[in-house]
Every structure is written in structure tokens, then in C-alpha cells.
Amino acid sequence: MLKLLASGSALALGLLASCQSSAPTSAGAPATAAPDTTATIAPAPAAATSAPTEAAARAAVARHIQTLPNAALFVPDSARVNDNDATWQVLVPRTDWAGRMPNRARFEVDKKTGQISSAPVK
């Protein structure tokens, strides 16, 4: 019976060792794993600055779009900008929304702070 338990625990240790990402170490040595350098890190959004002009708002939204995981779906060169007193409303066409209405994503850019928020198109 003791022999069966010993072989079972050896099998369990073997299975656990096969799941480890680093090479097995001796029982007395601490395990240190190498840092994963292949992980993809999303870029940090650009620091918000004021957007006093239409061109600045358009550029801020274009930078913001580049930080999104689905950035390839947006066409910032064809964006429309509306002046809404304290904010700029930037409507950016999406390629996956072609043929449907609304076919643009809406971004609000605060003129004073440059903060960008997205909202549904009404």
C-alpha cells in the first residue's frame, strides 16, 4: 500500500512539474521564474491636454483611437467635428458599421482638459 501511495505522489509531482513554466529546481532551492518578456502591454493613453481648436480635438481623438484594441476599424481621417460649447463632438466612421445607421462612433473632447469620452450616437 505504501508503495502505491509513493508511486501515486510521484506521478502527481510529475504532472505538476510538467505544468511549470520554469525548469524544476531542487527541493531546497527557491523557485525563481524568469519574467515573461513576450507579454503584450497596451500603450498608455496620451496625456490629456486642452483641445481649444477643432484640429486639436481631431488629433486627440486620433491618438485615443490608436490605444483601442480595435483601432483598425476606425477612419479618423474622415471624422466630423461639431462645436458643443464646452466640448467638441467628434464623429468617426467605422469600417465594420458600413451600410448601417449610425455608422460613426461618437467621442466627446472637453475643450479645457482634453479629456475624451465615448458615447452612443443618438
Whether the per-residue pLDDT at 81 is higher than 70: the answer is yes
Question: What span, in angstroms and rounded, lies between the C-alpha atoms of 14 and 27?
Answer: 14
| Residue 58 within a domain | yes
Query: What tens digit of pLDDT does each residue of 19-73 get?
Result: 444 444 445 544 444 333 333 333 334 455 788 999 999 999 999 999 999 999 9
> Domain total for the chain?
1
Whether the per-residue pLDDT at 14 is higher than 80: the answer is no
| Residue 42 within a domain | no
What's phi and psi for 14, nearest 5 deg? -65, -40
| Residue 95 within a domain | yes
- Asked if 61 contacts 76 with a C-beta cutoff of 8 angstroms, the reply is yes
| Residue 34 within a domain | no
Range of the domain at 77: 54-119
Q: What is the DSSP letter of 44?
A: P
Q: Which amino acid is at 45?
A: P
pLDDT for the residue numbered 100: 86
| Residue 89 within a domain | yes
Query: What tens digit of pLDDT does each residue of 94-121 get?
Result: 999 888 888 999 999 999 999 999 988 8
Whether the per-residue pLDDT at 17 is higher than 70: the answer is no
